[in-house]
Amino acid sequence: MAYEFRLFARNSQKLWNNCVNSVESMLPLNTHHSFYAMIKENLLLQSVNNFEGSPKDLAHHLSNRFKKKPLIVERKPRLPRAGPSCECEDCGKTFSSPYYLNIHLRNSGQKEACWLCGVMVVRGQEMRDHLSDIHKTEMLLCPECPMLFKSELDRRKHSKKCHGPGKFTCNDCGRTFQRSNSFEVHSQMHNVRTCRRCGVQFTNRGCYREHRAKCEPNAKPDLKTIPRSRRSNIRDPATFTCDYCKKTYHSRPQLKNHILWIHMDIRPHQCQWCGKRFYTPARLAEHTVVHTRVRNFECDICGAKLVSKMAAVYHRRRHTGEKPYECPDCGEKFISSSRRSEHAKRRHNKGSRFQCTLCLSSFVRSHELKKHMEKAHNPESQATAKIKKVKECFQSTA
């Protein structure tokens, strides 16, 4: 505290010395000039020469000097919102001007509306030719995206701003993004969407939604029955397809984890006791119970303690007799989906099996294949089995 007070006193003395020296340097003043000094928190001096007016006017004059000037924000010029009424050729929706039609088509990777006549043409070169031939208006085309400009200066500014290093610009519509994640999400807008009822395809999400509202009006569920966090894009939920197995997911992180865990076999979480690796920390926590044998889950019927939550669920189903998983082939019911899939493999020969590489035997579980390899194809285990048989023969004869 003493050190901080010493620094405070030293800085105060320095400020006052500067203030006094500045006042002394301005004296002596000319008698025909007026001098006013105003000391603020930073000991700032203000001098006014030859001021004529009342003290109120002087105070107003000095206060204007300290006002912060507002920052000038450059606004983009607005496109004209008036124009001829037009109609979308893909979905049939009508608009009062080409401005609103272009808003409808802004996520389309192919078409846009002419802001003069409202005709829908393909972005880029076709729009440039349309303006030149029909409206006698020459425009310059960006060599990297379908944006049009009136002058070479505007095109250079656009190239420097949108196509420089570290920028992510969509080659379909010309929109620029600062982050790669935003650019990847935007790229999904240009995917081709197919109507599930009539099979018509659309490159614009707005046209697809308008068509779906007319083709299948009852497809959209009641929003009151859906949580607020899941109401966005409810008519057309995004689907992400795996390139390896064609399995679909409703979010990008799910697809990413699927590729990392299943196809790339990346298991970052390792058990400290046995070295076994797992996909998620939750799976690792479930596995560590095998070593620690900590039973934190209790059955509310008999009081038995179990090692995991799912084990407690399956144990409770033994009391209640609930078997929610039914075999579609024979109708037999099971308490878990894993037992149903094991039943389908054993009884109905469905699903993948673990094939032995040295013989024609196949097994449902991996540990069964491991036991088979040790007994049938391991020479040491075969020798020990023969010794056991010989010993049993000698003991029986004796």
Residue 72 region by backbone torsions, left for phi larger than 0, else alpha for psi between -120 and 50, else beta: beta
pLDDT > 70 fraction of the chain, expressed in percent and rounded: 76
**Cα-Cα-Cα-Cα dihedral of 143, 144, 146, 150, to 10°?**
-50
For residues 90 and 52, membership in a common domain is answered with: no
Q: Which of 171, 189, 207 is the last residue of a domain?
A: 189
Residue 126 lies in a domain: yes
> Does 130 score more than 80 pLDDT?
yes
Residue 209 in domain = no
Total of domains in the chain? 2
Rounded to 5°, the CA angle 123-128-133 comes to 130
Distance CA 86, CA 103 (A): 13
| Identity of the residue numbered 69 | K
The parent domain of residue 97 ranges over: 86-189
Annotate 164-198 with b (16+ C-beta within 10 A) or e (fewer): eeeebbbebbbbbbeeeeebeebeebbeebeeeee
- In a shared domain, residues 127 and 56: no
- Per-residue pLDDT, averaged over 265-269, amounts to 84
Q: Does 91 share its domain with 181?
A: yes
Question: Which of 169, 189, 209 is a domain's end point?
Answer: 189
Give the residue carrying structure tokens 């006193």: 9
> Residues 288-315: pLDDT tens digits?
887 887 888 888 889 888 877 888 888 9
Say if residue 127 is in the same domain as residue 41: no
Instruction: Kindly report the backbone phi and psi dihedral angles of residue 149, in degrees, each rounded to the nearest multiple of 5, phi listed first.
Output: -140, 155
Q: What is the pLDDT of residue 243?
A: 84
Query: Does a structural domain hold residue 76?
Result: no
- Cβ-contact 192, 239 below 8 angstroms: no
**What are the two backbone dihedrals, phi and then psi, of residue 197, each rounded to the nearest 5 degrees?**
-100, -50
Has residue 365 been placed in a domain? no
| pLDDT score of 226 | 67
Q: Give 229's DSSP letter.
A: G
Name the average pLDDT for the chain: 78
